[in-house]
Structure 1
Amino acid sequence: MTPKQLNFHFPAEFEKQTALWLSWPHKEASWPGKLHTIYNPYSEFILRVASHQKVCINVADEQMREFALLSLYNSTYGKSVSGIGKLLDNVKFYFHPTNDAWCRDHGPAFLVNRDTREKAIVDWGYNAWGDKYPPYDLDDVIPTEIGKALGMPVFNPGIVMEGGSVEFNGKGTLLTTTACLLNKNRNPHLNQSEIEKYLIDFYGVEHILWLGDGIVGDDTDGHIDDITRFVNEDTVVTVVEENKSDENYQLLQENLDTLKTMRLETGKQVNIIELPMPKPVIWEDQRLPASYANFYISNENIIVPTFRDSNDEKALSILQDCFKTRKVVGIDSTDLIWGLGSFHCLSQQEPAV
C-alpha cells in the first residue's frame, strides 16, 4: 500500500519539528577554493537551531565528527554563546557517509500518519540533479540508512525526486515547477499526470500546483525553494525582481502571474506576499542562485540567507511580518551560495508527533 492509502502525509515545514537534519559539508568541488569559508555561517545555522530543537548531522567517521565539533566551538557565533556545551547537547552525529552536503535533496522525506502518529520515511531516488555531479551513490541511500537508525519504515517509490523541488502547505496542496519535475534528466519515462500520481501517493497530498521556471544560476533546473514558499496554509512568499533589465525579471513575473490564478485544495485563492531579490551575486564570472526564499523554518527561528545587499533588511522585515511568533535571523550566505545553494538546500526537517 502507498503512504497515502495508509493515511501518511508530509507536514508543512512551519509545523512543529523534532529535529533539523544535515549532512556535514566536505566536498571541495562544491565550493572550489571556498570550502573553508562556509563553516562559520554553517555553524551559526546549527547553533541557532540547536538552541531550541535537536540537530542531527550525517558524518563519514569520527574524524569528521571531531572536525565538526571544532568548527562549532571555534565559529564566531560559537565563541559568542555562553554555555555552548548545552547547545551541543542538542547536536547528534550519525555515521552515514555522504558524497555531498545537500540534505534537502538526498535526505529523508519524513511522513506522519494522521491516525497513529507513527512516522515513516520516503526514500526517493537521487541522481544529483540529472546526473550532473557523480558520484552520488552514498547520498542516494541516506534516507534508508536514517530509517534503519531511527527504526522507521521506509517507502521506495522507485523514481527520482528532490526535497527542494516540492513545497507543502500541510493541508493537501503541493507546489512545484515544470522546469524541474518535467525535466527529462529526472524521470524521462513519466509524463506530468504520472508524476502527479507519485506525488499524491507518496507525499499524501491531494492538490498539485505547477509554476514554471526557477531563477538564473540554479543548477537544479528550477527548484521551488528558491522562488516560492508557503509561510502558512494559505499564504506564500514569492521572489520578484525589480530591475526590468535583469534576466530574472520576466520569469519571476510569469511565476507571479501564475500564482495569482492558483487555488488551494479548499478552492481558496493563494495569498501572495512579494519578496525582493538581492542584486546579482557573481563569483568567478558565474551568476549564483542567491535568493531570500531559501530560508529554513525551525520551531523558534527563521534562518534567512543574506548577501551583503541593500535588500537584506527589507527581506528580513517582510519575513518577520510573516512569522510573528518566531525570530527571523539573517546569516551571511555570500560564501555558502558559491555552492549553488543555501540554508534550505542544506537542510531537512523531521516533524514532531
Structure 2
Amino acid sequence: MPPRTVWYTGSVTDATHLTPHDPTPRELGFRMPAEWAPHDATWMTWPADDDLWFGHLNAVRAEFADLVRTIARFERVELLVRDDETEHDARARLDGANVTFHRLPSDDVWMRDNGPIFLKRGDDLTLTNWVFNAWGGKFEFLNDDRVPEYVAGRLGLRHWDLPQVLEGGGIEVNGAGVGLTTRSCFLTDTRNPQLTEADYAELLRAYLGVEKLLWLDGGLENDHTDGHIDTITRFTDERTIVTSVEPNPDDANHATMNANLEALRAMTDVHGERFRIVELPLPERRLEGAEGRLPPTYANFYIGNGFVVVPLYDDPNDARALEVLRPLFPDREVIGLRSRAIIEGGGSFHCVTQQQPAGAPWTGE
C-alpha cells in the first residue's frame, strides 16, 4: 500500500480535553513509559525552511531521509509536511517507506519538544499537551505549539491540557518512577519562572508519574535549549545511565560534564539503589556553525522497536561512541547515521522524534 496523506482541516476530532481541575494522570494510574517500551509509531516533521538551516536544507533533508527510512524499517513513521513542496520532496526521498503523511502547518522540526508526551496505563493510551514556547521565545512557535492537539484529535485520545511550559527533551525517564532533568533548562525565567525544584517534582509526579526527580546542573555549551537532558545524559534501562564526558580540561564542557558525572554517581532510584553509570565521549572535534559553537553529542540517540539510531558527525569518536552504546542495548540493532547537517540546527535524532507507545485510546473508564 503506498503512503497516504492525512489533510489538516483546521479542526480535529472531539477528543476530550482534561485540565488541572480533573483527576491527574497519576491518580488514574497513568505514567510516561520508558522510550524502550514498544511503539506503535514515531512522529516527525519534515524540514521545510532553508533559512532555519543556514542554507543547508538539501543536506539536512538527505540526512532526514536516511533517518526516516531507518526508523520505518522497524515501525511506522507519522510525518508532518507543511505544504506542496515539502510533501513532494519528502515523498520523492521516501518512496516505498512505511510513512503516513500529515499535511499540517509547522514552524520547525523538533518534535521531541513541541510534540505530545504520551502516557500509558496497561494498554490504555493518553497524552499530555504542554505549552511550547520555543525554548523561551527564541524562535517562531505558534504552529508547532498546536501539534499535540492535532495528534490527540487524529488518534482520538482524551488528554490533559497543561498551562506550564515543558519540552520533551528536558525530561528523561526510566519507566520505573525516576526522572532526570537539568536546572539550566527547567529553572530559566523564560519558561515557568514561578516554579521551584519542589514545584516541578510535584508537577511531574502528578502528570507524568515521576516519583523521584533527579537534577543535574547544566548541559552543553551554546545549546539553545538551555541544556536539555537528552543532549547529555540518558537512561538505557531502569538501572543504567549513560552520560557525556569531556576529558579536555580546556574545553568549556569539561567542568559541567564532570560535575554531572560526580552527581550521577551519588544518585539513587526509588528504592535507594545507586545506578550503573557509563561514560560516553563527546565528539572530539569542535564544530562551528553560523551562530557559534554547535552542540554535537552521541547521547541524542533514539530508541525504537528493535533498534537504536545514533547520530554521527564524521568525528574520530564516532566509532568509540558506538562501541560504548552497543553493549547497553543487546536486544537492539545499534545503527550509526550521519547527522552533520542536522546538527547545524542545534539538535539531532532524539530531538526530531517522538515515540507513540503501543496502546489503545483510553475510553475514560
TM-score (norm 1): 0.93
Q: Does 1:55 align with 2:77?
A: yes
Q: Does 1:161 align with 2:166?
A: yes
Q: Does 1:14 align with 2:22?
A: no
Q: Does 1:250 align with 2:255?
A: yes
SS at match of 2:265: helix
Contact 1:217–1:287 (8 Å) recurs in 2: yes
SS at match of 1:98: coil
Q: How many residues align?
A: 336
Query: Which residue is equivalent to 2:347?
Result: 341
Distance in 2 separating the partners of 1:258 and 1:273: 13
SS at match of 1:303: strand
| RMSD across aligned positions (CA) | 1.2
Query: Which residue is equivalent to 2:111?
Result: 103
Contact 1:19–1:351 (8 Å) recurs in 2: yes
Contact 2:48–2:82 (8 Å) recurs in 1: no
Q: Which amino acid aligns with 1:198?
A: L
Q: Does 1:42 align with 2:64?
A: yes
Please give the residue correspondences for 1:314-353 in structure 2 after superposition, counting only pairs within 5 Å. 314-353=320-359
Question: Among residues 65, 68, 71, which one is paired with 2:90 in the alignment?
Answer: 68
Question: Among residues 69, 88, 92, which one is paired with 2:100 in the alignment?
Answer: 92
Q: Which amino acid aligns with 2:270?
A: E
Contact 2:47–2:86 (8 Å) recurs in 1: no
Contact 1:111–1:120 (8 Å) recurs in 2: yes
Q: Does 1:239 align with 2:244?
A: yes
Cα shift at 1:65: 2.0
Cα shift at 1:72: 2.4
Q: Does 1:268 align with 2:252?
A: no
Distance in 2 separating the partners of 1:196 and 1:71: 43
SS at match of 1:317: helix
Distance in 1 separating the partners of 2:320 and 2:195: 41
Question: Among residues 284, 295, 301, which one is paired with 1:295 in the alignment?
Answer: 301
Query: Which residue is equivalent to 1:145?
Result: 150
Q: Which amino acid aligns with 2:57?
A: L
Cα shift at 1:274: 0.3
Deviations 1:161-192, CA, capped at 9 Å, x for gaps? 00000001001101001110011110012222
Cα shift at 1:63: 4.2
Query: Which residue is equivalent to 1:219?
Result: 224
Unaligned runs of 5+ in 1: 74-84
Cα shift at 1:95: 2.2
Distance in 1 separating the partners of 2:302 and 2:216: 21
Distance in 2 separating the partners of 1:327 and 1:27: 32
SS at match of 1:123: strand
SS at match of 2:219: coil
Distance in 2 separating the partners of 1:260 and 1:144: 39
Distance in 2 separating the partners of 1:153 and 1:348: 18
Query: Which residue is equivalent to 1:180?
Result: 185
Contact 1:159–1:187 (8 Å) recurs in 2: yes
Distance in 2 separating the partners of 1:189 and 1:141: 24
Distance in 1 separating the partners of 2:172 and 2:72: 24
Cα shift at 1:284: 4.0
Contact 1:157–1:202 (8 Å) recurs in 2: no
Query: Which residue is equivalent to 1:192?
Result: 197
Which piece of structure 1 moves more, 276-285 or 15-24?
Answer: 276-285
Identity of aligned residues (%): 40
Contact 1:179–1:221 (8 Å) recurs in 2: yes
Unaligned runs of 5+ in 2: 1-22, 360-365
Contact 1:281–1:287 (8 Å) recurs in 2: yes
Cα shift at 1:62: 4.5
Q: Does 1:307 align with 2:321?
A: no
Distance in 2 separating the partners of 1:270 and 1:22: 32
Deviations 1:294-343, CA, capped at 9 Å, x for gaps? 01111122111111111100001111111111111111111110000000
Contact 1:336–1:342 (8 Å) recurs in 2: yes
Contact 1:3–1:204 (8 Å) recurs in 2: yes
Contact 1:129–1:221 (8 Å) recurs in 2: yes
SS at match of 1:152: coil
Distance in 2 separating the partners of 1:329 and 1:30: 27
SS at match of 1:15: coil
Q: Which amino acid aligns with 1:7?
A: G
Deviations 1:125-182, CA, capped at 9 Å, x for gaps? 0000000112x11111110111001101121121000000000100110100111001
SS at match of 1:101: coil
Distance in 2 separating the partners of 1:350 and 1:344: 14
Deviations 1:184-208, CA, capped at 9 Å, x for gaps? 1100122221122111111112110
Q: Which amino acid aligns with 1:245?
A: D
Cα shift at 1:43: 0.6
